[in-house]
Structure 1
Amino acid sequence: MESPRSHPRSAAPAPSELRPDDPTQVGRYRIEARIGEGGMGAVYLGRDPGGQVVAVKVVRPDLAGNRMFLARFHDEAAHAERVASFCTAQVLEHGEDLGLAYLVTEYIEGPSLLDHVTAIGPLSPGMLHGVAVGVAAALVAIHSAGLVHRDLKPSNVLLSISGPRVIDFGIARALDAASSHTRTGQVVGTPGWFAPEQITTQNITPAVDVFAWSCLVAFAATGRNPFGQGSFELMAARAVHAEPELGSLPEPLSRLVRSALLKDPEQRPGARDLLLGLVGGAGEADVSHTLGASWTTPPIPRPDVTSRDPGAAQAQPQARAQVPAPPPPRPQPQPQPQPQPHQRTAPANELPPPAPMPVAERHRQAPNQGTMPSHEIAPHPVTVPQQPPDRRRTALAAGAAVLVVAAIAAAGAYFLTRPDDNGGKADTGSTAKAATGFPTGPMLVRIDTEPGWPKECHADIGTYKPGDAAPATLVGGPACDTLPERSPDHKYIAFSRSVDGATSAQVVNADGSGRHKVADIAGGRVTWSPDGTRLAYMGGSGGTRQIYTVTLANGTVTRLTGDDSAKDDPMWSSTGRIVFWSRKDGAEQIYTLDPDHPAKPWVRVTRDGVRSVDPEWSPDGSKIAYTRGPSAASGIWVMNADGSGGHALTSGDAHDMDPGWSRDGRWICYVRGPVGTPEIHAVRADGTGDRVVTPPGKVLGHPSWS
């Protein structure tokens, strides 16, 4: 075939001028133009103070209040920072600017694979082999960091001068979390590129990316999707039941592509197997050698390239400048205090990234089949509600949104100590020096009105906003009120009340009004089901306590356990499982169970025999914070939901206990010190920025942020 430069290439719309409600400054980056818009928000062309061109990605406002989305994003961003930047894009920084969350990525110049094939046709043998190798190498890096792309497709592969670069991974999972309670049974992905198990709602594993890799390689070789074209339903049916049409592929590509398209995910090769089959080695040097020998410079790179669905109408070719000229300047906003970016440097003793985490019992979101730009941040375009312009033009809308992206930082990237950090030691000075991203909302707390806890309890339920002089009481009186927990919709609060030796689960409105008893319990905390219709609690008397649930609407009680082991601290996750500790196998260890199928065996998630109690799910249900170690010398630990990746957040030498996650999953509050006079602390989920948040002269306990 002829050299790509001898062919005209389709031209995509140039970066457009900013709209009235677009930002003109995000953090330290000047925003010059809008690159594109998709399902999660907008992508902008920006420049740093030194003039470097970057892509600035911002998420649409209506996701800002979704706890599942926020927590999933931050979790995925932490994993993405560990992805090697070889054959991927690099994340430069992320932060928040007066309510506007953003992420800045390296700007990759070059057309997408979709644009190139749509405009020019199938790749030459050398470029085809280079794409197969480069994308497989990117998947090795992505999977090694515990991520699954979930939406690998030609528009997410950019053909740069140095080789193919994979972008926009980690996004579908965040969007799936955002919609899991509102779009049950739907699919996140793009028709023609998703695997059969994404259609049939099986667990998502790295094998879905291997399937998509084979579809992508076949498309690059033939210009056609191996499952053809058609409606969502038709493409889904073909992916599950039909055999692909691959045409003539050279070896070893033909063999690898066919094995990667097997319907059973367990029979497909892994990404490393693909790479070994293509280059005879899985190292960066092997990949670099292959790309250097086979890669043909793609058409002159254009930063204004946008991706189109195959078959979409093509624009006429047009010339381009090396870097897009910005549109006419707009009035700049008044200078604002610059936010501290979320960057990181790894301490010398940092643990390796956790193993890939299984995703169980997940719901799907149906894809949308629209178009999106090469630097897009979402798999599907979604209509974004129009918002009136804000008084500050650097905000998308009032209360706007959290950032989500698919960019990545080089493996071994370092945590940068922020100005408010002090090496992980507690900041005992002032809470006014809040961290970038430090939660601004109030936490629920137990307010001790008289000394004596825990032998004597004189406690109210209230709220406390870190930095305030004192907490605010919501539920007061002579009773012992403890362990407050907000409902998922934040309209109600459940807590435990003890009066004259009898304990009950109580529920009040968020403002403290309307208190009523729900059930008699045996002490301990109560916890809400994900839909807010049930509470789980410890029940029973005179013998071993068991875990029960009660339906709030009709008072129906269901017993979930019946063994003779001591157990406590049930906590319901947003994904539907209940975590708790039990002495079933000796020392206190943490287990999970399915409350809708209580006869199923428990799953033990701690196995080292060290006392582990107080388990708390992260808002998205992907992690568990817990208290580990002997009571007098316990610390706060975090692990993945399956028990992998356990690591300490605190030193474990000062009786740390009772962890609780912030709503965005980025901070954990806990109590430290003597049981009768504890201090509430907060620490980032990466273990940095530990600080005291209890106001002087007050005794507060049982903090709950979420």
Structure 2
Amino acid sequence: MDSRHGRARAAGSLGPGDPRRIGEYPLEAKLGEGGMGAVYLGRGRDGRPVAVKVVRAELAGDPAFAARFRDEVANAQKVASFCTAQVLGHGAEGGRPYLVTEYIEGPSLQEHVAEHGALSPGLLNGVAVGVAAALVAIHSAGLVHRDLKPGNVLLSISGPRVIDFGIARALDAATGHTRTGQVVGSPGWIAPEQILNKPVTAAADVFAWGCLVAFAGSAYHPFGVGDFQLMAARVVHAEPEIGPLPEPLATLVRRALQKDPALRPTARELLLSLTGGGGEAAATTALNRTWTGGLAAPDAPAATVGPPAPGSGPARPAEPPAPVGALAPAAGTQPAPSAPGEPTAAVPEPPAGPGGKGRRRLRKGLLAAVAGVVAVAAGAAVVLQSLGDDRGRGAAASGPPADVMLVRIDRAGGWPRECHAAVGLLTPGARAARPLLEGEGCDVLPQWSPRRDRIAFTRWSGGATSEVWVVNPDGGGAERKADGINGRSRVAWSPDGASLAAMTRTGGRAQLSVIDLSDGSVEQLTDDRSVKDDPTWSRDGKLAFWSRRDGSQQLYWLDPADPQRRWRQVTTRRVAPHGANDPIWSPDGRWLAFTVMNEAGHGHDIAVIRADGTGYRRLTTGPAHDMDPSWSPDGKWLAFVRGPVATPQIWAMPVDAGQARARPVGPLAVGHPDWS
């Protein structure tokens, strides 16, 4: 049964066949429906919202199903309410069993990833910790969940909540309600032993935790997509693709996804590894020290993007626009004292009932801190979580150079269909980018001049063409230099800084042209019918771009000083069968970094190639969506954008190490980096 609580605003209205009241609970809306029944939003006597799960009438008379439903009620009551939805009541109405739990405000992890893409590093860490803590409580209550999946994890204001114990099962013996040979659980999220009809233990939940965390970190399932048979075969025989998870989380996920359940860590070992080890007391101390609050209220406005006031410290991070249920530090909260003996955040005592004494012991060791670590680790602003020892060191030998990047800051959501963007400056590792120009509009694709004394960018007003503007690094001297630029196209500085290359719109087509900044005159370099874009000008005079000249999107360059303007092809269908774009020259003019569609055909990787088409190498691989590369001024690092187009984040990696040392270097909703 779909037992998502979800968001009140996303609930459907009651239909003609829906009840208006169940027991003492008036119903207001339908939250979800599945093969076993429906979940409704109701109200308790105190006016608080509740979730009411009602079994379908045709199943109510099935003795086996009725027994399974009673098990679900009992199982839900056994587990501490901090990590699930507290049971408030149960009974039968018109012969139909129902279960009433607290209403959990917030989207499921499945919904959040579908809407916003892979989680930020801090949010990912919070979900990993919170779900591991929930599994500790579930297993301590003598249960194995057996159906842990993103749809059964709700992102609440107090941290992730694991719900739906409909097929949960006691660890010591089967309930007798499952037929021999029947595989229970959701395809793709069940362990190999479940598929092979071997004994199911708590290790099956740990396997599901590994799948869930890998999915949350990349927006792709570690075993791909397909029907039940295909997914089952991959789970049993194939190795998972966990995506770009930071260490040590990546190692934990790999251990959790071992085929042999005996080789997987326990949920308690997961939690202690995630929080520093040293026993439950050490985990509690580590978590409590970082307590700052809970989740941002649903529909909270996006953080203001702007420069800091004098003496106020760094500007606040630019954040994506108000994702409902997105995790962020609560306004007005302060870190809890870290000195021994000082008070910590309060968590309600678990309700009395089976396992209550054990839950109270667990509460002392873990529960009081879990919501806190989820909140602080999950905050969208805590982007630097995965930088480890390099955080804040800028130009340290093991970290990226501290040279300031030009970036696009999204003031509001909607990109690329809508554009509310400002040109800004970002120091790698900073918590926020600083806008250069005031006002609302669409300023994108900024580019440093060769001496870094001017900045060119594209200003779009919603039509088929854009304008080229130039501004000083302090935001002064803004001046429009040209119009008629095709779409929202990037411009490129000439080696001497006197001209800009751009794709001008001529006869309804994009043509590579050069704009003289002294008088605004335009010289057209191409005159063909192919689609083309993204000019980049090397310091030795080569103008590269992509074109669909041969029917596929490939990279070319030409020399503007060549009277014949001959095109030299750099990439081919062999190198980029699905196309290449976003080319950018290295500072020495020997290499092009670019974006190439990955071999699966559903995302993009970053690659490099020499100007003569040799030396091709992919620097990133996997399901993550990478784009818009930019070289560091010393040519040793590449910045690039990772994540959904609507919520980008800038990462950086050494060219010689590639994604093995890739890490985020900026907040969410910041893209279009130009570093060199």
- TM-score scaled to structure 2, two decimals? 0.41
Higher helix share: 2
> Which protein, 1 or 2, shows the higher relative CO under an 8 Å CA cutoff with sep ≥ 6?
1
Task: Give the TM-score, by structure 1 length.
Answer: 0.40
